[in-house]
């Protein structure tokens, strides 16, 4: 072959190589939303009723500000475990598809209306005003003080339901919230109500 | 019909002057990158100077960047072209020059290997405590917004939105779900502070972010520092808005809402790559020389389980002895938590063998070339002796 032919072939190969490198450099890391299905992680913090305590009783640790905590009596078949982050405790009823959380925050924690509207937003409901708040509130007197209870259901074909109790105790605000599928929450409602009625100050603190 | 090539362009492409210019440019880039590491950190400086085609400079007072210098990738590419072209032009195709052909091929492979590494190498890490099992890796620098359907008691459906998509501030549809994400703001790095009540000027009306004030900061530059990414996002499902949430890797537990009986959680976390196998840390050892605090050895005894392959075995990972499995190399990198936490650096580089092959080729080529030269030299000496 003539020298010019070698040259032409060489340049063509170089052009192909450069084009390939530039293509890979520019396009190889196109970002997109990924999806994967993973098995549930085991809850390493799950614990049963603490030994030495009365059956069904839960001794809540002290609230964060060092003032008194709260105790409650677990309904039959319910378990509890220590929470993480902002969650004080997680309660598990014997009904699947329901999440029950206990959260304590210092002070008014934003106020009752803001928190109720946040719960409503969590199940896709529009916010309400003070008048509607008062109408939706049910009050229960407990040994820890008055607990305001709210019960909301979402719209749509697969309804969700939220029942929550809110109590101001010694400068802290306690939120006990049950959330899940409407039927499951309905099945656990009476037990949850009894749990709220059992709230009392932690005598040890 | 062979295309006509400009003789002058061909001369320029094959000239030794071009080789020298490229080498000088590379030296300048190395010095500039070294100095830039002080402010940018190692990885950003390497990406800006060495692994880019152009070095950009942000014009002061303007929101525009202009290229001011060729980057390492461009200089390397020109050098490879120059090397190949010069070889084709000057080296004759004969057995006498076979050694030089092999040497040049090794050099070219070295540049190609660096290019492959720059484009395809992925570095992640695996932080694992004794007794823990992990089936995923995490990026040390990149975050993702993980949107998970946690309704099912057996599994979670996790959708990962890369931070690059959040940073573009577009509306992001999450495929396979009824969700669309409206990204209102994205912060590369931010300071988060709890306020006594609602955060002023914040669009957040859901979740823990209502009481969190966000202040944007410059991205960190230290190699041991991590940015606190933050974003305001609004998930919308079937036309129903679920409010505006603050997501950040500085927040704690995931935040959740319920749509049509499905519980969705939102959390900003290091970008994950899930593996088809798992590693369990059975024992981490940190040995020191007797009577001193000088580290002698770090090692992690892990159990590798791959159900698809029916594989279950123990592997010891220690310094300079990585576990090579599934196209990845697991190196012992760091440790913590009173020697109960092991951090493995995981490198995936399809071109990891190329530098070794390159060295072998260069060495073999040199040996071949000098062998031919020796034989020719001996032959020339022998001829006059025989003539006598």
pLDDT in tens, B134-165: 999 999 889 999 999 998 888 999 999 999 99
pLDDT of residue A141: 93
Question: What's the pLDDT at A57?
Answer: 43
Burial class (CB in 10 A: 0-12, 13-18, 19+), B21: middle
CB contact under 8 A, A121 and B84: no
| Structure token digits, residue A160 | 């969700």
pLDDT the model gives residue B351: 87
B196 touches chain A (CB under 8 A): yes
CA-nearest of B241, B244, B189 to B219 is B189
The percentage of chain B sitting over the pLDDT mark of 70, rounded to a whole number, equals 96
Minimal C-alpha gap between B246 and chain A (Å):
13
What letter would DSSP give residue A10? H
Helices within chain A (DSSP H only)? 3-27, 112-122, 130-136, 182-197
Measured between CB atoms, does A53 come within 8 Å of chain B?
no
Sign of CA dihedral A138, A69, A176, A130: positive
- Residues of chain B with Cβ-Cβ distance to A64 below 8 Å are none
Measuring CA to CA, which residue among A149, A146, A158, A202 is closest to residue A182?
A158
Q: Residue B218 in 3-state DSSP?
A: coil
Please tell me if residue B6 touches chain A, with a CB cutoff of 8 Å.
Answer: no
Of the listed ranges A9-13, B5-9, B155-159, B293-297, the one predicted with least confidence = A9-13
User: What is the 8-class DSSP label of residue A138?
Assistant: E
CA distance B302 to A147: 51
Cβ–Cβ gap A25/B53 under 8 Å: yes
Residue partners of B289: CB distance under 8 A and separation at least 6: B296
Using CB atoms, which residue from A32, A37, A107 is nearest to B157?
Answer: A37
In degrees to the nearest 10, what's the CA dihedral of B241, B150, A115, A186?
100
Whether residue B274 lies within 8 A of chain A, CB to CB, comes out as yes
Nearest to A149 by CA among A161, A133, A166, A162: A166
Which residues in chain A are closer than 8 Å to B3, comparing Cβ atoms? 8
Q: From CA B14, how far away is CA B18, in angstroms rounded?
A: 8
Q: Is residue B383's pLDDT more than 80?
A: no
End-to-end CA distance of chain B: 55
Q: How far apart are the first and last CA of chain A?
A: 97
Element (H, E) at A71: strand A70-73
Judged by a CB distance cut-off of 8 A, whether residue A14 touches chain B is yes
Residue A94 at interface with chain B, using a CB cutoff of 8 Å? no
Q: Is the ipTM of this complex over 0.85?
A: no
Helix axis angle, B72-90 relative to B16-40, nearest 10°? 160
CA B361/CA B142 separation, integer angstroms: 37
**CA–CA gap between residue A145 and residue A191 (Å, rounded):** 19
Q: Give burial (CB, 10 Å; 0-12/13-18/19+) of A53.
A: exposed
Residue B340 tokens, joined:
């109960």
Residues 6+ apart with CB under 8 A from B21: none
Q: In chain A, which residues have their Cβ closer than 8 Å to the Cβ of B151?
A: 97
Question: Cα separation of A102 and A72, whole Å?
Answer: 11
Q: Does B205 touch chain A (CB under 8 A)?
A: yes
A166 sits in which H/E element? strand A160-169
Q: Give the separation between CA A102 and CA A88, rounded to whole angstroms.
A: 5
Kindly report which listed range (A134-138, B98-102, B196-200) carries the lowest average pLDDT score: B196-200
Mean pLDDT of B3-25: 83
Instruction: Find residues 120-139 of chain A whose CB sits inside 8 Å of chain B.
Output: 121-124
Burial of B213 (0-12, 13-18, 19+ CB in 10 A): middle
Q: Assess contact for B341 and B126: CB atoms under 8 A.
A: no
- Are B160 and A33 in contact (CB < 8 Å)? yes
pLDDT computed for residue A59 by the predictor? 40
| Confidence grade of residue B281 (pLDDT, cut at 50, 70, 90) | very high
Using the Cβ of A64 and the Cβ atoms of chain B, whether some distance falls under 8 Å is answered with: no
Rounded distance between C-alpha atoms, residue B369 and residue B91, angstroms: 13
Give residue A55's Cα distance to chain centre. 27
List pLDDT tens digits, range B32-63.
Answer: 999 998 877 787 888 889 888 899 988 888 77
State whether B205 and A121 contact (CB < 8 Å).
Answer: yes
The pTM of the full predicted model, rounded to 2 decimals, is: 0.74
- From first to last of its 205 residues, chain A has per-residue pLDDT tens of 556 666 666 666 666 666 666 655 555 556 899 999 998 864 333 322 223 333 344 444 444 444 457 889 999 999 988 876 667 889 999 988 888 999 888 888 778 998 898 899 889 888 899 999 999 999 999 999 999 999 999 988 889 999 999 999 888 899 999 999 899 999 999 999 999 999 998 865 4
Other C-beta atoms lying within 10 Å of the C-beta of residue B233: 26
Backbone angles phi, psi at A130, to 5 degrees: -65, -35
Helix (H, G, I), strand (E, B) or coil at B4: coil
CB atoms A118 and B210 under 8 Å? yes
pLDDT score, position A56: 40
Q: Nearest Cβ partner of A14 from B85, B161, B274?
A: B85
Contacts of B243 in chain A (CB under 8 A): 118, 121
Contacts of A24 in chain B (CB under 8 A): 119-120
Of the partner residues A36, A157, A181, the one whose CB lies closest to the CB of residue B274: A36
3-state secondary structure of B316: strand
Which of B116, B135, B258, B273 is the best substitution to test chain A (most A C-beta atoms within 10 A)?
B258
Q: Which residue has the tokens 């400068």?
A: A171
Q: How far apart are CA A17 and CA A25, in angstroms?
A: 12
Helices first, then strands: H and E counts in chain A: 4, 11
pLDDT given at position B21: 94
- Is the CB of B2 less than 8 angstroms away from the CB of A5? yes
What is the C-alpha separation between B339 and B164, in angstroms, rounded?
A: 35
pLDDT at B7 over 60: yes
Q: How far apart are CA A117 and CA B209, in angstroms?
A: 14
Instruction: Answer whether A46 touches B (CB < 8 Å).
Output: no
Nearest by CB to B260, which of A11, A18, A158? A158
Touching check for A183 and chain B: CB below 8 Å? no
What pLDDT is stored for residue A47 in this prediction?
29
Averaged over B293-316, what is the pLDDT? Answer: 91
Cβ atoms of B232 and B216 within 8 Å: the answer is no
pLDDT reported for residue B352: 86
Q: Which of B328, B366, B349 is nearest to B114 (CA)?
A: B349
Out of A18, A36, A121, closest to residue B81 by CB: A18
Interface of B with A in 94-123 (CB under 8 A): 115, 119-120
Helix, strand or coil for residue A146? strand
């Amino acid at each position: 072959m003539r020298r010019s032919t070698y040259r032409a072939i060489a340049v063509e190969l170089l052009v192909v190589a450069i084009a390939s490198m530039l293509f890979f450099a520019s396009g190889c890391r196109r970002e997109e939303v990924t999806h994967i299905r993973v098995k549930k992680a085991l809850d390493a913090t799950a614990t049963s009723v603490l030994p030495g305590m009365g059956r069904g009783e839960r001794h809540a640790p002290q609230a964060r500000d060092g003032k008194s905590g709260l105790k409650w009596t677990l309904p039959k078949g319910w378990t509890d475990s220590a929470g993480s982050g902002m969650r004080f405790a997680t309660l598990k009823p014997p009904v699947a598809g329901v999440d029950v959380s206990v959260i304590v925050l210092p002070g008014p924690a934003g106020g009752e209306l803001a928190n109720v509207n946040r719960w409503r937003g969590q199940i896709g409901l529009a916010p309400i005003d003070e008048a509607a708040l008062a109408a939706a509130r049910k009050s229960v007197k407990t040994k820890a003080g008055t607990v305001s209870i709210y019960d909301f259901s979402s719209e749509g074909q697969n309804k969700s339901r939220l029942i929550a109790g809110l109590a101001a105790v010694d400068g802290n605000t306690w939120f006990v919230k049950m959330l899940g599928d409407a039927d499951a929450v309905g099945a656990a409602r009476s037990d949850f109500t009894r749990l709220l009625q059992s709230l009392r100050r932690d005598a040890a603190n | 019909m062979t295309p006509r090539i400009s003789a002058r362009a061909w001369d320029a492409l094959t000239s030794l002057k071009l080789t020298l210019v490229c080498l000088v440019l590379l030296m300048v880039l190395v010095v500039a990158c070294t100095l830039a590491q002080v402010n940018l950190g190692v990885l950003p400086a390497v990406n800006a100077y060495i692994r880019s085609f152009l070095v950009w400079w942000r014009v002061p007072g303007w929101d525009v960047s202009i290229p001011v210098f060729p980057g390492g990738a461009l200089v390397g590419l020109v050098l490879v072209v120059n090397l190949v072209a010069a070889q084709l032009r000057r080296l004759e195709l004969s057995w006498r020059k076979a050694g030089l052909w092999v040497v040049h091929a090794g050099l070219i492979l070295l540049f190609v290997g660096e290019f492959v590494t720059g484009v395809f190498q992925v570095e992640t890490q695996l932080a694992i405590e004794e007794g823990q099992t992990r089936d995923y890796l995490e990026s040390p620098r990149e975050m993702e917004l993980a949107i998970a359907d946690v309704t099912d008691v057996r599994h979670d459906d996790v959708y990962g939105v890369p931070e690059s998509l959040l940073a573009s501030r577009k509306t992001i549809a999450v495929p396979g779900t009824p969700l669309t994400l409206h990204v209102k703001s994205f912060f590369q790095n931010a300071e988060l502070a709890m306020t006594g009540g609602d955060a002023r000027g914040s669009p957040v009306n859901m979740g823990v972010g209502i009481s969190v004030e966000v202040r944007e900061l410059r991205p960190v530059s230290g190699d041991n520092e991590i940015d606190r990414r933050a974003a305001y996002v609004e998930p919308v499902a079937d036309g129903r808005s679920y409010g505006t949430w603050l997501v950040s890797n500085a927040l704690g537990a995931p935040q959740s809402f319920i749509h049509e009986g499905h519980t969705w959680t939102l959390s900003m976390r290091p970008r994950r790559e899930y593996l088809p196998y798992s590693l369990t840390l059975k024992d981490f050892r940190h040995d020191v020389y007797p009577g001193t605090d000088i580290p002698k050895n770090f090692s992690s005894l892990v159990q590798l389980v791959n159900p698809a392959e029916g594989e279950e075995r123990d592997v010891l990972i220690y310094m300079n002895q990585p576990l090579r499995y599934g196209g990845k190399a697991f190196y012992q990198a760091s440790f913590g938590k009173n020697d109960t936490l092991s951090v493995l650096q995981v490198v995936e580089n399809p071109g990891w063998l190329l530098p070794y092959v390159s060295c072998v080729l260069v060495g073999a080529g040199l040996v071949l070339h000098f062998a031919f030269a020796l034989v020719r030299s001996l032959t020339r000496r022998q001829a006059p002796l025989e003539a006598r």
